[in-house]
Amino acid sequence: MPQIAGKEVGPIGFGLMGLTWRAKPCSQEQAFETMRAALKNGCNFWNGGEFYGPPDYNSLVLLERYFEKYPEDADKVVLSIKGGFNTATNQTDGSPENTRRSINDSTAQLKGRKKMDLFEFARRDQNVPLEVTFDVVNKEFIQTGKIGGVSLSEVRAETIHEAVKHVKVHAVEVELSLFSTEVLENGVAAACAQYGIPLVAYSPVGKGMLTGQIKKIEDIPEDSHLRMFPWFLPGNFEINMELVRQVEAMAKKKGCTPAQLAINWTRALSRRPGMPTIIPIPGATTAARVEENSKLIDITDEEMAEIDVTLSKFKRAGDRYPEGIPTNT
């Protein structure tokens, strides 16, 4: 079993974002059923965010209500919450003032029902030295036991190398999927391996492209934020569907779903020399989808080599994010 922040976690985690950060969130009852299914299937590393939804219904509000109903689950969950974002300015803000506000507000929203095992900075603030940010976190929150530790998100390799000089980094969350393999080549995965830091892979099913549910642009709801992402735009979408079809064919041959192949491919990368432990965190809004996503599939070295060949012939059309959203910070 992998470990994060000194606690055992399942080989596949659970992303909470989709439960609250969408135009029409699922009902709280459905969300609770999905969360219970995640625990039941061994997905006990949960990843949410202070800004995943409005202040009155974000990850923290949902979690507080969940743990109020199921207090016995609090100790079973290893919880990572993203913050460090200034909602007033809509900017990443690693200043001491906003760092305190973000952690204190997140803690307050949980109402003592669960401690954050990890507080995760959603992006690096380029205007504030890491030493300044982490000095506050270390002295005021980790050493006082208010949070368990720190995680990083959407960072470049240089940030990891610098951060470990100032704080113990318990996890690094970055996008990794068959559509987004950049971290395997840009030094991020290598840095995680160097320091023994688990790499948490978000969007392992390519923002939904590899679920088998999206065949045409019209399958994406008009109010979905995905409509703004470059690789879903007309012209790019059709090119990217080529990889989807190839993954679907490989999954059919393997006897699993495309999502299961995609998720377990990220896990299988951990076997390769120079790779860290990789924990994918697919999101879901139904218990059935959790059941599908949590299934462990063994992908052989021969199958991994076959996927390598497929990826070597494919170039994703469109950037990972719309212009203006910071990446590789």
CB 269 within 8 A of CB 184: yes
Where are the alpha helices (H) located in 210-320, listed in sequence order? 236-254, 258-268, 287-293, 301-312
Strand intervals (E) in the chain: 3-4, 7-8, 14-15, 45-49, 78-83, 85-86, 91-92, 118-121, 150-153, 169-175, 199-202, 278-280
Comparing CA positions, the residue from 317, 211, 283 lying closest to residue 46 is 283
Q: How far apart are CA 113 and CA 115, in angstroms?
A: 7
Element containing residue 44 per DSSP (H, E): none
Q: How far apart are CA 249 and CA 141, in angstroms?
A: 49
Question: Coil, strand, or helix at residue 67?
Answer: helix
Question: Coil, strand, or helix at residue 111?
Answer: coil
59 contact partners, CB below 8 Å, separation of at least 6: 16, 17, 19, 20, 48, 49, 50, 52, 53, 81
Give catalytic status of residue 52 as yes or no. yes
CB 240 within 8 A of CB 179: yes
Comparing CA positions, the residue from 218, 214, 180, 224 lying closest to residue 199 is 180
Amino acid at 244: V
Pick the catalytic residue: 52, 57, 66, 70?
52
Return the active site residues: 52
